[in-house]
Amino acid sequence: MRRMKTALRTHHCGELRTTDINKEVSLCGWIHKTRKLGGATFIDLRDRYGITQLVFLGDDENSNTLLQEGFSREMVIRATGTVIERESKNKNLSTGDIEIKLKNVEVLNKALTPPFTIEDDTDGGDELRMKYRYLDLRRNAVRKNLELRHRMAIETRNFLDKQNFLEVETPVLIKSTPEGARDFVVPSRMNGGQFYALPQSPQTFKQLLMVSGFDRYYQIVKCFRDEDLRADRQPEFTQIDCEMSFVEQEDILNTFEGLVKHLFKTVKGLDIPEIPRMTYADAMKYFGNDKPDTRFEMKLVEMNAVVAGKNFKVFDEAELVIAICAKGAAEYTRKQLDELTEWVKRPQIGATGLVYAKHNTDGTIKSSVDKFYNEEDLKKWSDTCGSQPGDLILILAGKEDKTRKAMSELRLEMGNRLGLRDKNKFSCLWVIDFPLLEWNEGDPNLLASLAGRWHAKHHPFTSPKPEDIALLNTSPGDVRANAYDIVINGVEVGGGSIRIHNKELQAKMFEVLGFSSEEAQKQFGFLMNAFEFGAPPHGGIAFGFDRLCSLFGGAESIRDFIAFPKNNSGRDVMIDAPSEISEEQLNELSIALRQK
Amino acid sequence: MRRMKTALRTHHCGELRTTDINKEVSLCGWIHKTRKLGGATFIDLRDRYGITQLVFLGDDENSNTLLQEGFSREMVIRATGTVIERESKNKNLSTGDIEIKLKNVEVLNKALTPPFTIEDDTDGGDELRMKYRYLDLRRNAVRKNLELRHRMAIETRNFLDKQNFLEVETPVLIKSTPEGARDFVVPSRMNGGQFYALPQSPQTFKQLLMVSGFDRYYQIVKCFRDEDLRADRQPEFTQIDCEMSFVEQEDILNTFEGLVKHLFKTVKGLDIPEIPRMTYADAMKYFGNDKPDTRFEMKLVEMNAVVAGKNFKVFDEAELVIAICAKGAAEYTRKQLDELTEWVKRPQIGATGLVYAKHNTDGTIKSSVDKFYNEEDLKKWSDTCGSQPGDLILILAGKEDKTRKAMSELRLEMGNRLGLRDKNKFSCLWVIDFPLLEWNEGDPNLLASLAGRWHAKHHPFTSPKPEDIALLNTSPGDVRANAYDIVINGVEVGGGSIRIHNKELQAKMFEVLGFSSEEAQKQFGFLMNAFEFGAPPHGGIAFGFDRLCSLFGGAESIRDFIAFPKNNSGRDVMIDAPSEISEEQLNELSIALRQK
C-alpha cells in the first residue's frame, strides 16, 4: 500500500497502530458516529480502509470552538492530531489500540442526514437504496462485494495471462442478428436508417480471432440482452469470455477447471476437489434439472414400475411417478406435510398433490395412500428409494416434463428445509452432452416471428457431436452437442462448446434453424467466408461474471455485486434513465417516435 | 507457458529446440510456405508462437501419398513426426536449429488463397485488409500490436491494484446529456419513447464512487462519441479511467507519472526521467499548441518589437510576428525554401507567406526581406531567436491565433524534415493550468443549439482555480482550471482535473454554461444532490488507451491497435454494420424511420 499518503492526509483510517504513538497525523474521512463521555467527545472517523477514533479530551481551549460547529453524521472532515494509546482498547477494530488526540478539525464538506443508516444492516428499503446508490455503496457490506469482484477480475486475468491467453477487446457497436434473444440497437447518425446492435456476446468475433491464429483469447466484457427482466437478470451483464484453438472438449474442461480452482484458492482460500462430470441426460433424470445443486444427494427416483397395478388411479394414469428420499425427515408432522402439499400445489410449482411415506425409526413404513399400498408394497418403495429408518419419501405424479420440474423444485426446497444448502460450502459440476436444439413454442424473449422453429440451445455456432450429425435431417431434437455448462451449487455460472469450423456444416445448421441461405449469408456471411480461409478447430466458454461473484460472495442476487444496477423495468432510478431525448437529437438520427 | 499442450498438439510452433531432438511431436498450424529441394519437400508451419520447419525427406513411402493431396498456403494441418537437427540452421528463427521429419499430416481445414499476402509488408490495401480483417490479424505485425495492448492493460492493472485502486465497472446504458459531444442513444423497448445513451466517459459515475468513499477507482473501459470521424478517431474507444479522493493536483500528477514510468519500464524497458510541467499559457506561447512535441526545442519567438518600424507593412500591420530557429538548416536551397513557402500557404496551414533569414556559416545573415532590414536589424533578429551560424530563421505574420497555429504546424514540419521526431525516442510533458471555458462559435461536433455559449474545455465538473472563481461572473474566459493533460511526443495521451465537490459551485458552473436551473437539475440533479451528502475533495484523469498503445508501438494511427476498428464513416466493413433492422424490431422499440 504505497502512496496512500496524499496532500490532505498522512495516513488512512485503517492504518495506525501502537507503533505510531506520538506521531502527528492527519486523517480524512466521514464522521461515522460521535458520542460524549464526561468532558470528552469521541468521533469515529471512517474511510474505505477502516475506522479510527478521534477524541477531544476537553482539556484544550481549541476544543470548544471546534465543537461549536457541530459535527453531523457523514460530514467530511480532515482531522489533525497526535496518536495516543487508548485507555479502553477495542479488539474489533484494527486501529482499536490507539486514538487521535485532536488538535484541529477542518470541515471539508457538510452532509445532509442520509435517508437511511450507513450500516451493514441498514434501515433503507430496496427502492430508496437504489435511488441513493452512492450512499448505499458506503455500506461496508456492499463495498466488500465490489472489492471481491475486483479481486476476482485480477485473479482471472493473472491466471489466463499465465496460460498465454490474450485479452482482446471486441467491438460494442456491431450488427443486429435477431435470431437470438432481442438486441439493443443504436441508430447511426452517419448512416441514416441503419442501426448498430450491442453484442449479446462477442461470439462471432472471438471465433474470427481463432481464424486469425490468436490461439487463446479472453475478455472480461459487458454484454447486452433486451429481455423481460427477472430478479436476477440485468440488461447489461459481464462475461469472462474465452476461446481456444486446436482443442477438444477435454482441453477446455481442464483449462477452466484450473481457472475455477485458482479463483477458489486465491480469493476464498479453498482447495476444491476435481470437478465431476454428468451428462445432460443424467442431470435431467436424477435431478430434474440441467443445473443440479450437488451439495446434497436426494436424487430423483422413477417409481412407475414399483407403484403400478394397485388400483391407485393417480399413479396408474401418470406419465411419470417420481420420488425423493429426504434423509431424517420422517418426524415431519401432519401440519408440516400439509403445508408442503400446499407448497407443491402453488402455481409456480404446479403439482396436483403430494404423496408421502414415512420410514419410521421403528422400521415400519406408513404412507398417505395406505388404502392402496400394503406394508410389502411400501417395502418395495423403500428399497427403490434407498430409504432408511427416519427418512421421508415424497412422491409426485403427472405429465413427465412438468412433474420432473416440480420434483426438482421440491428437492431444492427440501434441501433448504433440511439445511443442506450451506452458502459457505461449494459443489462444482460439469454438465456435458447438451442437446443441440430445442423447439421454440413461442419464447417471450425471442421475436414472435421465430416461434414454431428449432432454436439453438447454446447458439447456432455450436458443433453437433460428429456421430449425431446424420440425425440433423431425421430427428434434430435428438442431436447432442459438444456443449458443456459449469454449475456451482445449482447455479449455472458458465457454459460453452466446441464450435463448427466448417462452412458446409455451419450452413446446414442455419438451414435447420429455418434460415434461408440468403438470410444466413446476409447475417453471418462474414463468418462462413472466414471458415473458407483456414479455420482451426476451436471451442470456448463464457462465465457469467456477475453471478460468479455473487456466488463467491455467498449472495442470492447479482445486484449487490454490480455498482450501479438497473431495476426490474430496466431503469436506473438514480440517474433516471432511460429518458426522453430532444427532437433535435431524434432528427439527426433519422428516427421518429411511433404513436402507439 | 503451462498447458500449451492440447489434445491436438504436443507443442506449439515456437517451442522446439535441439534439446527436443528425437522426440515424437505433433504440431498444429497454418502452412506459411512450401518449397522443394531435391527430393525433399519443406513446409513452414506457422502459429501465433512462431514457425517450425517440417520436412518430407522423400525417403518414406508415405510421403508421396501425402504430398498428392497438395498443400496450399494457409491450409490448417496437424503434423506428426520426429524432431531432427537441421543441416542448414536458420539464425532468424527461434526454432531454426531443428526441423520435424514428418510421419503423418492431417488436413484440419482447407484454405482458399487469401486476397493478400500474410506478411509484415502485405500487398493488401486498407479497404481489402479491413474487409478480411481476420486474415489481416494473422500478420505478425498486427498481432504484435494487440499483444502489446494486452501487456499494457495487464501492467496498468498491476500497477493500480498495488496502489489500492479498485476496478469498478460502471454502466454502459446511461442517460443522454447532450451538453458534450453527441451521444449514441439506445431506444428502450420496455420504456417506449425513452432512450439510454452510451457513455462518453464514466465521469459522473466515478465521481459518485468518490462520494461513496471508494477512495481510488479505475477502469479500462469502452467509451462512445458520435463524432464526424477523422483518421485517428473511432466512435468507440477505450480509456484508462481513474479517480482519487482527498487529493490535490500534485497527488494525481505524481501517481500517474508513476503509472507512465511503470509502463515505459515494464513494456518498453525504458527508464524515463521526471516529467516536466508547463502551463497552458507557456505551451501556447512557446509552441503555439497545447500539446507540444518536446522531443525537440525550436521554440516560437515573438518578434513584433524587433521587426517593427522598418516600413515592412506585412510585419508592421500584423497582430503577431513570430519566428522559429531551425538549427543547421541555413543551407536550405532556394528551391527548398520556395517549396516550404508553398507548404505554409496550403489551406490546412493557412499562412499568407513565409519570411526567412539564413544565418550563414560565415556569420553573415541574409533574409528574404533585405529591402527593409539591414545587417544590424538582422543581427537583432538573430539575438532574439538565438540563432547560430548555420541556422535558418523562419517567420510568419498575421492574425494572432491563426499565425501561432500555423507556426506550430511549421515547427512540427521542420522537426520532421530535420529528423528530430524519432518515434523510438519519448518525451513526456504535463501541461497544466488550462482555461476552464472556451467559447463555442459553432463546433460541428456539438448540437447546433449549443452554439454561441461558453463550453467547458475539459467538462462541466472541472474545478476552477479557487483564486479565479470571482472571474466566473466578469470574464469567464480568463478563469483557469485545476486541469492537466499528459502529452507524449506531441500527442495528448491523457487529461484530467480536480473536480467540483460542492453543490453551489457546480450549479454556478452550469449557469455559466447556459443551463437553466431546471435543465441542470433534470440532467445532473443526481450528482448535485450527491454533493450534499458528504462529497470528499477529489480529482482524476483518463488516458486514451488506444492512442497510448499506438504511441508505445511507434505508430501514427490507432487503427492497427484495435482488433476490429471502424472506417471513417463509422462502418465495420467486415461484418457490414450498421445495417437495416426489421419492421418488427422498430415496432417493438416504438420508433419509425424518418423520411428525409
Residues B152 and B273 in one domain: yes
Task: Residue A512: name the closest of A447, A466, A453 by CA.
Answer: A453
The type of residue at B328 is: G
ipTM over the 0.90 cut-off: yes
Interface of A with B in 517-536 (CB under 8 A): 526, 530-536
pLDDT tens, A465-500? 999 999 999 999 999 999 999 999 999 999 999 999
On whether residue A152 sits in a domain, the answer given is yes
pLDDT reported for residue A446: 84
Mean pLDDT over each residue of chain A, to the nearest integer: 94
Residues A356 and A399 in one domain: yes
Grid cell of B522 as nine digits: 433534470
CB-CB under 8 Å, B222 with A169: yes
The minimal CB distance from B134 to the residues A134, A235, A530 is found for A530
- Chain A residues in contact with B186 (beta carbon < 8 A): 184-186, 198, 578
Q: Provide the CATH number for the domain around residue B104.
A: 2.40.50.140
CB-CB under 8 Å, A143 with B195: no
Task: Give dist(CA A362, CA A390) in Å, integer.
Answer: 8
Q: Provide the CATH number for the domain around residue B258.
A: 3.30.930.10
pLDDT reported for residue B1: 44
Instruction: Please report how many Cα atoms fall inside a 13 Å half-sphere around the Cα of residue B60, on the Cβ side.
Output: 15
Residues B382 and B410 in one domain: yes
Task: Residue A506: name the closest of A484, A477, A538, A478 by CA.
Answer: A538
Residues B228 and B337 in one domain: no
pLDDT reported for residue B469: 94
Task: Residue A414: name the closest of A297, A335, A334 by CA.
Answer: A297
Task: Give dist(CA A557, CA A567) in Å, integer.
Answer: 12
Which positions ≥6 away from A410 have C-beta within 8 Å?
A: A324, A340, A343, A344, A349, A351, A354, A394, A396
pLDDT tens, B45-66? 999 999 999 998 876 666 555 6
Residues A354 and A401 in one domain: yes
pLDDT tens, A350-388? 999 999 999 999 999 999 999 999 999 999 999 999 999
Question: CB–CB of B537/B572 below 8 Å?
Answer: no
Residues B70 and B148 in one domain: no
Q: Is B455 on the interface with A (CB under 8 A)?
A: no
pLDDT tens, A194-203? 999 999 999 9
Q: Is B150 on the interface with A (CB under 8 A)?
A: yes
- Chain A residues in contact with B238 (beta carbon < 8 A): 169
DSSP annotation of B558 reads: S
Select from A393, A421, A449 the last residue of a domain. Answer: A421
Q: How many CB atoms lie within 10 A of CB A158?
A: 16
Q: How many helices (H) and strands (E) does chain A have?
A: 17, 23
Task: Give dist(CA B132, CA B137) in Å, integer.
Answer: 9
Most A-contacting residue of B4, B74, B147, B190 (CB-CB within 10 A), to test interface: B190
The minimal CB distance from B194 to the residues A8, A255, A579 is found for A579
Domain residues for the domain of B515 are 144-277+430-561
Q: Is the peptide bond before A565 cis (omega within 30 degrees of 0)?
A: no
What per-residue string of b and e applies to A78-93 under the rule 16 or more CB within 10 Å gives b? bbbbebbebeeeeeeb
Task: Give dist(CA A43, CA A33) in Å, integer.
Answer: 6
Task: Give dist(CA B72, CA B174) in Å, integer.
Answer: 50
Residue with cell 421475436: A447
Question: CB–CB of A284/A431 below 8 Å?
Answer: no
Residue with cell 472571474: B471
Residues A361 and A407 in one domain: yes
On whether residue B440 sits in a domain, the answer given is yes
pLDDT reported for residue A67: 62
On whether residue B577 sits in a domain, the answer given is no
Task: Give dist(CA A258, CA A165) in Å, integer.
Answer: 14
On whether residue B85 sits in a domain, the answer given is yes
Q: How many CB atoms lie within 10 A of CB A123?
A: 9
What are the helix (H) ranges across A75-232?
126-131, 133-136, 140-162, 203-211
pLDDT tens, A32-82? 999 988 888 899 999 999 999 999 887 666 655 566 667 889 999 999 999
What are the helix (H) ranges across A365-495?
375-385, 400-417, 471-474
pLDDT tens, A130-168? 999 999 999 999 999 999 999 999 999 999 999 999 999
Cα dihedral across residues B512, B517, B523, B524: positive or negative: positive
Q: Is A171 on the interface with B (CB under 8 A)?
A: yes
pLDDT reported for residue B60: 65
> Which burial class, exposed, middle or buried, applies to B393 when counting CB atoms under 10 A from its CB (0-12, 13-18, 19+)?
buried
Residues A185 and A273 in one domain: yes
- Chain B residues in contact with A170 (beta carbon < 8 A): 563-564
Residues B417 and B462 in one domain: no
On whether residue B320 sits in a domain, the answer given is yes
CB-CB under 8 Å, A575 with B526: yes
Select from B109, B133, B157 the last residue of a domain. Answer: B109
On whether residue B4 sits in a domain, the answer given is no
Cα dihedral across residues A149, A154, A158, A161: positive or negative: positive
pLDDT reported for residue A556: 84
Question: How close, in Å, is residue B36 to chain A by CA atoms?
Answer: 23
Alpha-carbon distance values, A393 to A385, A386, A414, A525, B525 (Å): 8, 10, 11, 55, 59
Residue with cell 445532473: B524
Interface of B with A in 329-358 (CB under 8 A): none
Mean pLDDT over each residue of chain B, to the nearest integer: 94
Grid cell of A16 as nine digits: 495506525
Q: Which residues pair with A430 in a beta bridge?
A: A277, A486
CB-CB under 8 Å, B248 with A6: yes
**Contacts A–B by Cβ distance under 8 A:** 404
Question: CB–CB of A307/A320 below 8 Å?
Answer: no
Task: Give dist(CA A227, CA A238) in Å, integer.
Answer: 15
The type of residue at A540 is: G
- CA of A131: which chain B residue's CA is closest? B526
Residues B102 and B189 in one domain: no
Residues of chain B with pLDDT under 70: 1-3, 59-69, 231, 596
Alpha-carbon distance values, B336 to A75, B332, B401, B403 (Å): 68, 6, 27, 21
Question: CB–CB of B81/B25 below 8 Å?
Answer: yes
Residues A404 and A461 in one domain: no
CB-CB under 8 Å, B4 with A193: no
pLDDT reported for residue A1: 44
Q: Is the peptide bond before A115 cis (omega within 30 degrees of 0)?
A: no
On whether residue A487 sits in a domain, the answer given is yes
Q: Is A569 on the interface with B (CB under 8 A)?
A: yes
Q: Provide the CATH number for the domain around residue B359.
A: 3.30.1360.30
CB-CB under 8 Å, A534 with B75: yes
Domain count, chain B: 3
On whether residue B579 sits in a domain, the answer given is no
CB-CB under 8 Å, A533 with B132: yes
Task: Give dist(CA A476, CA B564) in Å, integer.
Answer: 35
Percent of chain A with pLDDT over 90: 87
Residues B259 and B367 in one domain: no
Most B-contacting residue of A5, A46, A142, A190 (CB-CB within 10 A), to test interface: A190
Q: Phi/psi at A159 (nearest 5 deg)?
A: -60, -50
